[in-house]
Amino acid sequence: MAIARPKNSQMRFQPDSAITANPRGITPAAGAAPALTIVNGNAGGGRAAHRAPGALAELRRRGVKLDVRFTEAPGHAIELASQGYRDGYRRFLSVGGDGTTYEMLNGIFPRPEGDVEPVAIGQLPLGTGNSFLRDFSITEERAALHALVEGKRRSCDIIKGVHRGGEFYFINLLAVGFPAQVCALTNERFKGLGAAGYAVSVVASLFSMQRPILNIAVDGIQDKRRCTFLAFSNSGFTGGTMNMAPGASVNDGLMDIVRVDPMSAMTLVRAFPSIYGGTHTSRPDIHHTTGRRVTFEPTAEPLEAMVDGEVLRVHLESLEVIPRAVEVIA
């Protein structure tokens, strides 16, 4: 069931005329404070380590100031961004995949109360997923490079997740059910195989598909139905080119919620290709809606949730949109 939307929100983003990085036409980005640049060399199966030096040299040549740090282990980008924020950086560049940007965001947030200075984040997509920039019509490295040189900023919501043991922030999507099952299996067993590993995990997961009942409330309205999966999206694209939440706007203050009813493995396999064109939501067994805040009734066991390509096992309590929390350089 497709969502009804006001016409103008079909745009991938709504440009914010109040935000311009280059008001007087001076050399783009020149004169600005350096961007804390966090390089995850392992992203994209090592592609980032290979591609980053040339890309960063080009950015510098074209006037972009960068202070570069390299991650040494999973989670390290959180630490680097957090330290950078305390040191006064307000422009951040993630060099890697969506996972690197996710970690960076969780180093910047939560911000101390009263810190209202805008925070800008950019991404040089060298990872496997690279979904997020697609919502800003950037699909490859060259276009991202050009956008970073231009320095144009677009305001963007983020989503805050609260669980029993703490909180986290994401910019792309959180999914429970089938996608989380696939992602967990990929990360545990088949990470080294790249896209093939993902495909193997999809097939393997079809045979042990869980169809959880999640008791949620969207802006106070209860919903307790079994599902194949539920996705809570800030941006439209996921997994590179899947248009999970067609027409989603990154700065309308709303998250897009896609619910897939219980399906057989065969039906799921047949329906799956329609996600690339974003036509899946016109099926009668897939529902697309929006909301500002979602609460979860506590479950006995922790929930497996896929968040921007990472898998969390948490007792999820709520998800809430923080409108226009960052500016994306794109």
Residues in the site for Mg ion, rule: CB under 5 A?
249, 252, 254
- Cβ neighbors of 173 (< 8 A, separation 6 or more) are 231, 232, 233, 234, 235, 238, 244, 245, 306, 307, 308
Separation between Cα atoms, residue 254 and residue 90, nearest integer Å = 25
**Cα Rg, the chain, nearest whole Å:** 19
The alpha carbon of residue 283 and the mean position of all alpha carbons in its chain are separated, in whole angstroms, by 25
* Smallest gap from residue 79 Cβ to Mg ion (A): 29
Q: Which CB, 238 or 249, lies closer to Mg ion?
A: 249
CA–CA dist 47, 41 (Å, integer): 7
At its nearest, how many Å lie between Mg ion and the CB of residue 290?
7
Q: Which is nearer to Mg ion, 249 or 289 (CB)?
A: 249
Nearer to Mg ion, 5 or 62 (CB): 5
Place of tokens 């040549």: 61
User: Cβ 254 to Mg ion, closest distance in Å?
Assistant: 4
Residue 76, class by beta-carbon neighbours within 10 Å (0-12 exposed, 13-18 middle, 19+ buried)? middle
Tell me how far, at minimum, the Cβ of 215 lies from Mg ion, in Å: 24
Kindly state the smallest distance separating residue 237's Cβ from Mg ion, in Å. 13
- Closest listed residue to residue 174, CA positions, set 100, 230, 232: 232
Helix (H) or strand (E) holding 277: helix 274-277
H or E stretch at 102: helix 98-108
**Given the complex with Mg ion, which of 10 and 264 has the nearer CB atom?**
10
Of the two residues 40 and 235, which places its CB atom closer to Mg ion in the complex? 235
Closer Cβ to Mg ion, 2 or 271, answer by number: 2
**Least distance to Mg ion, CB of residue 265, Å:** 31
Nearest-angstrom CA–CA distance, 201 and 27 = 48
Min separation Cβ 9 and Mg ion, Å: 8
Maximum CA extent, the chain: 59
- The secondary structure of 146-185 as a DSSP string is HHHHHT-EEEEEEEEEEETTEEEEESSEEEEEHHHHHHHH
Q: Which of 175, 224, 216, 208 is nearest to 298 (CA)?
A: 216
Q: How far is the CB of 245 from Mg ion (least distance, A)?
A: 8
Q: Minimal CA–CA distance to 299: which of 232, 220, 224? A: 224
CB-nearer residue toward Mg ion: 81 or 328: 328
Question: Which one, 254 or 258, has the nearer CB to Mg ion?
Answer: 254
Structure tokens belonging to residue 51? 């591609």
- Write out the two tokens for 207: 């045979």
